[in-house]
A = this chain, B = another copy of it.
Amino acid sequence: MDKGYKTKQKQIILEYIKSSKDKHITAAEIVAHLNSAGTSVGVTTVYRYLDKLVEIGYVRKYNLDEKTGACYQYIKDNEECVEHFHLKCVKCGELYHISCDFMQGIDEHVLEHHGFRIDNTKTVLYGKCKHCHS
């Protein structure tokens, strides 16, 4: 999988992402957390390692908000995540995993009728959750 060397920095970064697998975190948040934890890691390293993790499929990358930058989520031991859709509340930031027959049918419908193969590891539906309907 990861052809590279095993280093302390990679270990630390991966560990933190794993522990946040239910959330979307930004590169800046990773750096901030690691620094506040006393384990300093350079920004460059975080970005480069995240890129690699995305490439090999351990991590998913989202572009929700250009102000806060890209978000990342660990998905490796989260296999069921590949099959369903994600809803992200643009107000409170909460991430919902939804998986039901109707939604599963979307993939098939789009592929069959529109010739498009949806990649659920990259797709997130944005909107407002029940708590945030203004």
Q: Which residues of A are interface residues toward B (Cβ below 8 A)?
A: 63-66, 69-70, 87, 89-90, 96, 98, 100, 102-103, 105-106, 109-110, 113-119, 122-130, 133
Contacts and interface: CB of A to CB of B under 8 A. Distances in A.
Contacts of A128: 116-117, 119
User: How many copies make up the complex?
Assistant: 2
Consensus secondary structure, chain A interface: mixed
A110 B122 contact: no
A98 B106 CA distance: 12
A126 B123 contact: yes
Q: Give the 10 A-B CB pairs with smallest separation, nearest first.
A: A115-B130, A122-B126, A118-B127, A119-B127, A117-B127, A117-B128, A123-B126, A87-B116, A123-B125, A102-B109
Contact of A100 (B87, B113, B116, B123): B113
Given A116-B128, A126-B118, A127-B118, A87 B63 contact: no
A26 to B, nearest CB: 12
29 contacts: A63-B64, A66-B66, A87-B110, A87-B114, A87-B118, A89-B116, A90-B119, A96-B116, A98-B110, A100-B113, A102-B105, A102-B106, A102-B109, A103-B106, A103-B109, A110-B125, A110-B127, A115-B130, A116-B127, A116-B128, A117-B128, A117-B133, A118-B125, A118-B126, A122-B126, A122-B127, A123-B124, A123-B125, A123-B127
